[in-house]
Amino acid sequence: MTISASTRCRGETQFAVLGSQFRQEMRPFSAALCAFFVCAGLAVAQVNPVRADPAAKNPVSGSTIALRATSTMNVPSEMGGAFMTPSKCDSDGNLYIRKFAMDRPLLGPVVKIDPDGKRVALFDPAAFSQLALDRADAFSPASDGGMYQIAQSGVLKPRIYVLHFSSDGSPSSPTRLDADFEVYTFAAFAGRNFLLSGVKRDVQNKDDRGHNFTAVFSADGRELAQLSFQPRAALKAGLKSDAAAHQEPQKEPEKSAPVLDLADAEAGSDGNLYVMRRSSPALVYVITPSGKILETLKVAGPRGSAPSGFHVSGNQLAISFWNEEGESQTVVVADAQTGRKIASYGDPAGLGSSFACYEANEGVFTFLKLGEGNALEVVRAEAQ
């Protein structure tokens, strides 16, 4: 999702679902690019204000703890531009934010912002000019202070790369993967294996809408294991209770595009990846570097809401749920081993539409938004 104005395109749930952030269903690369050009002129370079007074319409219930802003910091280096979600953070409190670039919308850079609001690195996929990249999508902070990012060159015969940037933002070494599918979800294990999830299809066959494909690859690009997940049809019992929030038809068209298996992924302190699926309840898979699914955690949000983002910190998960009808956001914190809910936190003051980071030890939630003059604002909040 691109954070700019709350501009909508006809027939779309929300503008600027580019790369890995598909709310409802994956659309082919060419369709996504076409949708961008229809809407980009309307949306970029505008401010996305805090949604209109959600506190008045959605007071926090007694079972939900209200969050309050403890600090709001403008980031001067990031004036006048939209950014894309999800954002990430590392153990040192640095934020990794993917910028929207009007001149190359599928190849925007990622900026690294330290806790004081200073840009300390710029990770730009264009620096790998020898690869002739067409797009760069999901990214994952690296343990060395740098970053990994998934990228693609070519459409008919795509070449898939994992880009590695050094901590100062300089390009390090790309790894070409033995893969030929459209990747939308990506994360790196601590040991440098990679999880990729997306859609495999014959781009020359217009009737082939594709099928989901998820696999773990080694640091040198070899496929180690393919993963399979519970089919969407088997989740319909849960989806029916949240049909209004997901806006999914009870019966899918025969040739509909596949809904992505996985939405977002983050590395845990135990060396495994925690990977979220947008479903009701939210499903979080715990996956080992060898590709084994250890656990499937279920975390329920408020009725009528859908998971929109998540983060892992220590032994806790924090999942953001968005209620479209009520325009309200709730963050549910759960145990990362069992999925047991620890607490629910409400956002009655409109802290920010992008949930960027969670620090379990400090009990701090970080949100991003565009403020006055298109300035990027970092809002940190705690329980009231």
User: Tell me, what CATH number does 78's domain have?
Assistant: 2.120.10.30
HEC profile of 322-336: EECCCCEEEEEEEEC
Structure-token pair, residue 82: 């939209």
**Model pLDDT for residues 160-192, shown as the tens digit of each residue:** 999 999 999 999 989 999 998 989 899 999 988
Q: For residue 114, what are the CA distances in angstroms to 77, 82, 111, 375?
A: 12, 19, 10, 16
**Containing structural domain, residue 234:** 2-247+256-383
Across the chain, which distance is largest between two alpha carbons, in Å? 57
Q: What's the angle, vertex CA 233, arms to CA 231 and CA 236, rounded to 5?
A: 120
What's the total number of domains in the chain? 1
The whole-angstrom separation of Cα 244 and Cα 305 is 9
Give 119's contacts (C-beta < 8 A, 6+ positions apart): 75, 77, 78, 111, 112, 113
Q: What DSSP string runs through 342-365?
A: EEEEE-TT---SEEEEEETTTTEE
pLDDT per residue as tens, the chain (384 positions): 665 433 333 333 333 333 333 333 333 444 344 333 333 333 333 333 333 334 434 445 558 999 999 999 999 888 766 889 899 999 999 999 999 888 898 999 999 999 999 999 999 999 999 999 999 999 999 999 999 999 999 988 889 999 999 999 999 989 999 998 989 899 999 988 999 999 988 877 888 888 899 999 999 999 999 999 877 555 554 444 444 444 444 544 455 556 778 999 999 999 999 999 999 899 999 999 999 999 999 999 999 999 999 999 999 999 999 998 888 999 999 999 999 999 999 987 789 989 999 999 999 999 999 888 888 999 999 998
**Model pLDDT for residues 213-249, shown as the tens digit of each residue:** 999 999 999 999 999 987 755 555 444 444 444 444 4
